[in-house]
Amino acid sequence: MAEKIAIGGHAGHQVAKALAVFSIVLGAAELIWPSGFTSFLGLQGLENLIMIWGVREVIAGIGIFAMARYRSGWLWFRVVGDVLDVLTVLYAFAGPNPPVTNIVIALVLLLPIAVLDIWCAKALAQQKAMAHESAQYRDRSGLPGGTTR
């Protein structure tokens, strides 16, 4: 059990901060150059969707940084975004001449990030739950001799 605390503790917060930076940079790239993403995936005409995903990424990154108390929630928000990203990339297969290699590259890049988001969200949620549990005083009666005789 102590191992899980160590893994989810400081390391979890460091990974979360790295994911926040990644999210902000990726979101900015999606906002600045949506046509690059759509061209790569064969999704021309969906630039507005890529820009919306960019806004989502930037919001998630800022949320992770600005609201440390709710960091695991913002990471779950990233996980939802990862699902949307994977679905968007898979949608590229529906095109008339899908760039299969590019789609596979995108999926290979997306899936490890999604796994990292899930791991980090779980680790931070577990750490928060354990901290909350240790703050409980259920085993204390407030009486000098306790309640047992």
pLDDT of residue 126: 85
Q: Tell me: pLDDT of 55 over 90.
A: yes
47 vs 134 pLDDT, higher one: 47
Q: Does residue 44 contact residue 21 with C-beta atoms inside 8 Å?
A: no
What are the φ/ψ torsions at residue 63 (nearest 5 degrees)? -60, -40
Least confident segment among 67-81, 102-116, 117-131: 117-131
Query: What is the separation, in whole angstroms, between the first and last Cα of the chain?
Result: 32
In whole angstroms, give the CA distance from residue 5 to residue 120.
12
- Count of CB atoms within 10 A of residue 23's CB? 27
SS3 (DSSP) at 97: coil
* 46: enclosing H helix or E strand: none
Provide the whole-model pTM. Answer: 0.79
pLDDT of residue 4: 45
Q: Which residue has the tokens 């699902």?
A: 83
pLDDT of residue 78: 97
State mean pLDDT over 98-109: 97
In whole angstroms, give the CA distance from residue 36 to residue 41.
9
Least confident segment among 14-28, 44-58, 114-128: 114-128
Q: Tell me: pLDDT of 38 over 70.
A: yes
> Residues with Cβ < 8 Å from 120, sequence gap 6 or more?
12, 15, 16, 19, 72, 75
Our CA dihedral for 25, 87, 56, 14, rounded to 10 degrees, sits at -50
In whole angstroms, give the CA distance from residue 20 to residue 123.
16
Question: Of 63, 68, 62, 78, whose CA–CA distance to 113 is shortest?
Answer: 78
